[in-house]
Amino acid sequence: MTPPDAPNNRWSDLERPPLNTPALRRGLLRPGSLWSSLDVVRSTGSTNSDLAARAAAGLAEGAVLVAEEQTAGRGRLDRNWTAPPRSGLFFSVHLIPAGVPAERWGWLPLLAGVATATGLARAAGVDMALKWPNDLLVTVGGEERKAGGILAERAGDGVVVGIGLNVTLRAGELPAPHAGSLALAKAVSTDRETLLRAVLRSLEQWYGRWREAGGDAAASGLQAAYAAGCATLDRPVRAELPGGRAVLGEAVAIDGDGRLVLATADGLREPVSAGDIVHLRGAAGGLT
């Protein structure tokens, strides 16, 4: 018999009830929907890794895998992402953007960011900002805090997009001083089923619009939407690039390839396609 205080017991935290899988399936797996299957597991290492393995063996587009707990969740640059069981949304989706040139697939994590932010604005009443390329920010006590992140990886003939979001984490549970959660940002709702449905429906809408435009971020409205919600633009930043090089400049645009364009002190404009971005308050010091 499972001890009543076991961390994965459904009664271990009554403020964090388990997801209702049948209800989620009824609400999302409808005829004509992008979503073809939805599974919820109690605990796993990484939903991205699990779904990528299934994709390699042949998996329909629109599969969704949700974990109540991730023990080896990964962010960009292989950073760990951990949180208490049932305290957040940790899920991955399998997308096969047929008809979209592969060079435009790099927009998918940015698309997921726009979809998550717009879905949560409606369902949670939280003004969420996007930090290029894949962080989800909320405001806690007047300060920007990271509440989520996105990781997209090629898998078979498609892409697995993973989204991790802190929902009910309390101040003492935060993994880092700059982290936040929807609860700490005063969300009007932290019901995870409501939030998951809202994000997946928003993702379906944005993905459909982008695919219909052949992956053209400008024509689909995605480029403008991302720029409008991007907290990185119009501020000084430091781009820490692969290989140890760093570039200082003002973030002035998101180009047609989804790259962040920096205006440097020497008058050049440098597009950044990969790297870590630090939001600076001024010439020295900064916010991550």
**pLDDT of the residue at 95:** 98
Strand partners, 143: 140
Q: Where are the domains of the chain?
A: 21-228, 232-287
**CA-to-CA distance for 107 and 60, rounded, in angstroms?**
21
Contact residues for 80 (Cβ-Cβ < 8 A; gap 6+): 72, 73, 74
d(CA 146, CA 10): 28
Angle at 273 between CA 272 and CA 274, to 5 degrees: 100
Residue 2, pLDDT score: 39
Work out whether the CA dihedral 55, 60, 61, 63 comes out positive or negative.
Answer: negative
Tens of pLDDT, residue by residue, the chain (288 residues): 334 444 455 545 678 999 999 999 999 999 999 999 999 999 999 999 999 999 989 999 999 999 999 997 555 545 566 789 999 999 999 999 999 999 999 999 999 999 999 999 999 999 999 999 999 999 999 999 999 999 999 999 999 999 999 999 999 999 888 999 999 999 999 999 999 999 999 999 999 999 999 999 999 999 999 999 999 999 999 999 999 999 999 999 999 999 999 999 999 999 999 999 999 975 444 444
- Paired strand residues for 238: 248, 278
**How many beta carbons lie within 10 A of that of residue 215, not counting itself?**
22
Please count the other Cβ atoms lying within 10 Å of the Cβ belonging to residue 236.
Answer: 17
Say how far apart CA 6 and CA 143 lie, in whole Å. 35
119 token code pair: 């879905």
Question: Tokens for 107?
Answer: 């927009």
Q: How many CA atoms lie within 13 A of 32 on its CB side?
A: 1
Q: CA 136, CA 231: separation in Å to the nearest integer?
A: 10
Q: Report domain 21-228's class.
A: alpha beta
Angle formed at CA 93 by CA 87 and CA 88, multiple of 5 degrees: 5
Report in angstroms the alpha-carbon separations of 120 from 26, 84, 135, 148: 20, 21, 14, 12
The whole-angstrom separation of Cα 1 and Cα 244 is: 52
User: What is the average pLDDT value for the chain, to the nearest integer?
Assistant: 91
Q: Which CATH architecture has domain 232-287?
A: Roll (2.30)
Instruction: Name every residue whose Cβ is closer than 8 Å to that of residue 79 and which is 6 or more positions away in sequence.
Output: none
Q: Rounded CA gap, 134 and 128, in Å? A: 13
Same fold: 21-228 with 232-287: no
Select from 139, 135, 160 the least CA-distant residue to 148.
135
49-84 in b/e burial notation, b at 16+ Cβ within 10 A? Answer: bbbbebbeeebebbbbbbbbbbeebbbbeeeebebb
